Amino acid sequence: MPNTVLFLCTGNYYRSRFAEELFNHLAPKNLPGWMATSRALAIETGIYNYGPMSVHTQTALAERGIPIAQPMRNPQQVSEEDLAAAKKIIALKEAEHRPYLTQRYPAWPDRVEYWHIHDLDKSTPVEALSQIADRVTALMAELKGV
C-alpha cells in the first residue's frame, strides 16, 4: 500500500484536483511508493461546479502535458476514513478550510498542513495553479526525506 497524500479543498473540483493529478503524474519518477488523492470539505457548496473537474484544472494539466486519470471521477466528500488513511494531509487554504475541519472533523484541524492558495475569488487560475505546482514540487522534495 503506497503512502498517501490527501489534498483538501472546499469542493474537490479545482485546486485539490490539480494537486492530486500533478502529484500522481510526478510521483512514479520522483517519489516511488507515494500517491495522492483529494477530497472536498464542503462538497455541497459546489452548486456551480459543472462536470467532474474544473475546466481551469483540465487546461492547466493539458498545458503541462499531464494526462487526466480516466475515467474522470466526480468530486468526493472527505470521510474520517480518508483522513485516517493519509500519511500527509494538506488543505489548500487555511483561512477557508480550517473552519470546515474544526466544525465537521474536530479531531483533525491541528493534524493538517495548510497552504495559502486562493480560490477564484482572489486569484487567477494561472496564479493559483502555478503556486500549487511549486508547492507540490517542494512537498515531493520534503517527502523524499521521510
Instruction: For residue 71, give the CATH number of its domain.
Output: 3.40.50.2300
CB atoms within 10 A of CB 114: 18
Distance of alpha carbon 18 from alpha carbon 62, whole angstroms = 11
Q: Is pLDDT above 70 for 87?
A: yes
Q: Is pLDDT above 80 for 13?
A: yes
Task: Provide the domain count of the chain.
Answer: 1
Q: Indicate the DSSP class of residue 77.
A: B
- Residue 47, pLDDT score: 77
**Which residue range(s) make up the domain with 48?**
3-144
- Residue 146, pLDDT score: 64
Distance of alpha carbon 9 from alpha carbon 39, whole angstroms = 7
Residues 6+ apart with CB under 8 A from 91: 7, 8, 9, 41, 97, 98, 101, 112, 113, 114, 115
pLDDT tens digits, 53-75: 999 999 999 999 999 988 999 99
